[in-house]
Amino acid sequence: MTARNFPTAQDAENAFYEALERSDLEGMMAVWAEDEDIVCVHPGGARLTGQDQVRESWAKIFAAGGRARVHIAQQVAISAMMLAVHSVHENFTVAGESQPRPPIVATNVYLRTAAGWRMIVHHASPAAGQPAPAPRQAQPKLLH
Amino acid sequence: MTARNFPTAQDAENAFYEALERSDLEGMMAVWAEDEDIVCVHPGGARLTGQDQVRESWAKIFAAGGRARVHIAQQVAISAMMLAVHSVHENFTVAGESQPRPPIVATNVYLRTAAGWRMIVHHASPAAGQPAPAPRQAQPKLLH
């Protein structure tokens, strides 16, 4: 596993989506906390917990091929000293498809560890209907 | 709105599901932080943000009737000083239906405010397939 240190939750989130676009399993797992309490819900999927289940799921997704670009939009971020929560829309564009896919809504939670910020929860699900407009371009809310 | 103070995130979570079972709109909104950055995703629904959208959605759900009991299972909890994240399975039993509904997976995020712990994110989606077995009956992880 590549040794990477993410100084902010946003750095971890950027690395998460970069790894997802590149189908880079080691890059993906470098974003996750080395913790058995990590939780991952792929769109329409069951809840997965722990390193083994999460790694296996991404390995299957990446092995299936189908490179996609993902544009992250409408982020709402709440950040505390040790935890950060980002709610985002994921807009996927798949090679060979003329239209972007319907948006996915994701709740991403990051934990500040001794090795920098790491992902502990990724919960994604299809966002049916029209997404609500972003009321404003919010800066992350710092609690303290 | 009822003035309630939840000393722990678990108290807020209990009140959330009690209000849901009772179709109690004021009880439900008393659990949510008074903050425009709150996020709610109902199963299969679009992301809702802010007090007005969240209240309106619960009002519609409760007005539609259909009382249900909900059993919360397989909680994974991560708690920091100001934020707590609970991942749970929601098992609904609807009056007049002989079988429980397929499980819903929910990510619930709570914020410690001046008025106690309040919900800031509820992201629920159908958990397709068999849920992963809980590796153990974990106590909430306290970061500090």
Residue A142: what pLDDT? 53
Residue A134: what pLDDT? 42
- The one-letter code for the residue type at A55 is R
Mutate to test the interface with A, among B34, B38, B47 (most CBs of A within 10 A): B47
Distance between CA A128 and CA B41 in Å, rounded? 10
When computed from its CA atoms, the radius of gyration of chain B, rounded to whole angstroms, is 15
Q: B32-66 pLDDT, tens per residue?
A: 999 888 999 999 899 999 999 999 999 999 998 77
Residue among A43, A131, A143 whose CB faces B46 most closely: A131
What is the average pLDDT score of chain A? 86
Which residues in A have their CB inside 8 Å of a CB on B? 36-37, 39, 41, 43-50, 53, 74, 76, 78, 80-83, 85, 87, 89, 105, 107, 109, 111, 120-121, 123, 125-132, 134-135, 138, 141, 143-144
Residue among B39, B81, B138 whose CB faces A87 most closely: B39
- Does the pLDDT value for residue A138 go beyond 50? no
Distance between CA B104 and CA A47 in Å, rounded? 10
- Does the pLDDT value for residue B144 go beyond 60? no
Residues of B in contact with A85 (CB under 8 A): 83, 85, 109, 120-121
Distances (CA, A) of A131 to A114, A127, B40, B44: 36, 7, 12, 12
Distance between CA B92 and CA B89 in Å, rounded? 10
DSSP letters of chain B? Answer: -----BSSHHHHHHHHHHHHHHT-HHHHHHHB-S-TT-EEE-TTPPEEEHHHHHHHHHHHHHHT---EEEEEEEEEEEE-SSEEEEEEEEEEEETT-SSPPPPEEEEEEEEEETTEEEEEEEEEEE--SPPPPPSS-PPPEE--
Mean pLDDT of the A76-92 span: 90
Q: Please state the separation of Cα B21 from the chain's center in Å.
A: 11
- Does the pLDDT value for residue A69 go beyond 80? yes
Distances (CA, A) of A57 to A11, A29, A119: 23, 11, 15
| Share above pLDDT 90 across residues of chain B, in percent, rounded to a whole number | 58
Mutate to test the interface with B, among A52, A76, A88 (most CBs of B within 10 A): A76
The C-alpha of A24 sits at a distance from chain B's nearest C-alpha, in angstroms, of 25
Mean pLDDT of the A106-133 span: 84
Whether residue A12 contacts residue A31, with contact meaning beta carbons closer than 8 Å, is answered with yes
Q: Do the chains contact at B78 and A111, CB–CB below 8 Å?
A: yes
Residues of A in contact with B72 (CB under 8 A): none
Which residues make beta-bridge pairs with B49? B39
ipTM for this prediction: 0.83
Q: Do the chains contact at B131 and A41, CB–CB below 8 Å?
A: no
Q: A17-60 pLDDT, tens per residue?
A: 999 999 999 999 999 999 888 999 999 899 999 999 999 999 99
Supply B112's token pair: 């410690």
Residue A102: what pLDDT? 85
φ, ψ for residue B68 (rounded to 5)?
A: -140, 155
Q: Do the chains contact at B128 and A44, CB–CB below 8 Å?
A: yes
